Copies of this chain bind each other. A is one copy, B any other.
């Protein structure tokens, strides 16, 4: 605790808050509109959220307190992993979920202690064994599935190896067995014209893992030799399961995740949440929220559509997606939650067609929230809110405190 911190995160780390956590009979809802923040189409115009008609979110904002949440730091564009880790109260810069583990989580694959996940790219090797295309011409996902079926024939004594299609040239490998260690060199040369790199061990403990990966690659070379353009694979992002202390253990919560996409369910599971399976639409999610209300006290509700439309570059579609989410707010309020926080895991301006670094509109609602009189839920309205620009990872602390779940610090 030697470095000075933000007024918000000054001491609000999970390890600090954990000591203050106390039980309370309160219900907390974290409503995440993925990629919520945006930008205007023309200079001086309105953002997607400012364009959308959101009477219910506006009312929560007017009755609550607002600000702009910063997922990682100024100028940093978060991926879904860091964006959600911050929302769950973890330090997204210090919590490293490897690419392989994130891909595995995203596919809903189980990744247990000691398991090793890696991200695979199908690639094209030329006749000299040098990488000619690191993405094998972005093969169709159906081709990927056929190749993955071949790879799943690979056997290495003492290990269980599982390949899973992600999409196009992307796949995931999970290795299960004793003595695995992620400190092995990545085989992707990150350039064409160079051969794949040998997965040599980067420390003595990784020698066995290196042998396993060499055996896998040798077998893959034989199995894929004739499958041009995808005649080999490159491996990177070796990772074990995320090492997080869950929200259940940290704060004594019984958290539930209501999400439709595997990635967010995986992140929630890593954070100690019980994940509701089989949800396919916002209607499903809202129904499940009511069904689970009695048995849980923290609810992570994740809506993917605003981000997806933002990445499509579909400004109107993103605004419409936000409006569709807004229509579900009354059903949440009808359950009489004690605390509601609504925000995104990052911004996805349709004009940029990608995640961005812009801080994200945020609102906090609850009986002990001091209203700041925000005129609406939007980028500019929230920017003038009482919370100012603040770190997303203090959202958990704010929710816990307003839910009566943190004891006094010091006498």
CB pair A388–B391 under 8 Å, yes or no, is no
Chain B residues with CB under 8 A of A47: 370
Instruction: Give A395's nearest chain B residue, CB to CB.
Output: B74
Given A91-B2, A93-B16, verify A398-B10 contact (CB < 8 Å): no
Proximity string of chain A (73-97) to chain B, C-beta cutoff 8 Å, 1 when within and 0 when not: 1111111111100000001111001
* Most chain B CB neighbours (cut-off 10 Å) among A386, A408, A409: A409
Chain B residues with CB under 8 A of A169: none
Assembled-state Cα–Cα distance A46/B260 (Å): 42
Kindly identify, within residues 354 to 411 of chain A, every residue whose CB is under 8 Å from any CB belonging to chain B.
354-359, 368, 370-373, 379-380, 383-384, 386-391, 393-394, 396-402, 406-411
CB pair A1–B91 under 8 Å, yes or no, is yes
Given A1-B91, A370-B39, A411-B99, verify A383-B386 contact (CB < 8 Å): yes
Determine how close the nearest CB of chain B comes to the CB of A238; give it in whole angstroms. Answer: 14
Chain B residues with CB under 8 A of A357: 401, 406
* Most chain B CB neighbours (cut-off 10 Å) among A10, A13, A20: A10
Assembled-state Cα–Cα distance A93/B16 (Å): 9
CB pair B4–A76 under 8 Å, yes or no, is no
Assembled-state Cα–Cα distance A17/B386 (Å): 29
Determine how close the nearest CB of chain B comes to the CB of A268; give it in whole angstroms. Answer: 16
* Most chain B CB neighbours (cut-off 10 Å) among A68, A77, A408: A408
Given A357-B401, A357-B406, A389-B390, verify A12-B370 contact (CB < 8 Å): no
Chain B residues with CB under 8 A of A399: 75
Chain B residues with CB under 8 A of A8: 7, 70, 73-74, 389
CB pair A75–B401 under 8 Å, yes or no, is yes
Q: Does A6 contact B (CB under 8 A)?
A: yes
CB pair A77–B409 under 8 Å, yes or no, is yes
Determine how close the nearest CB of chain B comes to the CB of A3; give it in whole angstroms. Answer: 5
Instruction: Give A355's nearest chain B residue, CB to CB.
Output: B408
Assembled-state Cα–Cα distance A12/B76 (Å): 7
Assembled-state Cα–Cα distance A103/B17 (Å): 24
Determine how close the nearest CB of chain B comes to the CB of A180; give it in whole angstroms. Answer: 21
Q: Which of B10, B79, B102, B368 contacts A408 (CB 8 A)?
A: B79
Q: Does A18 contact B (CB under 8 A)?
A: no
Assembled-state Cα–Cα distance A75/B9 (Å): 9
Determine how close the nearest CB of chain B comes to the CB of A44; give it in whole angstroms. Answer: 7
CB pair A2–B94 under 8 Å, yes or no, is yes
Chain B residues with CB under 8 A of A321: none
Instruction: Give A96's nearest chain B residue, CB to CB.
Output: B410
Given A72-B10, A370-B47, verify A79-B397 contact (CB < 8 Å): no
Given contact pairs A7-B74, A82-B409, enumerate 18 new A-B contacts (beta carbons under 8 Å).
A2-B94, A3-B5, A4-B391, A5-B9, A8-B70, A10-B391, A16-B93, A40-B370, A40-B371, A74-B394, A78-B408, A80-B411, A102-B410, A356-B368, A370-B380, A372-B380, A372-B383, A389-B390
Instruction: List the 8 closest pairs (A to B, CB-CB), nearest first.
Output: A75-B397, A75-B401, A4-B9, A74-B394, A79-B410, A11-B93, A10-B73, A7-B70
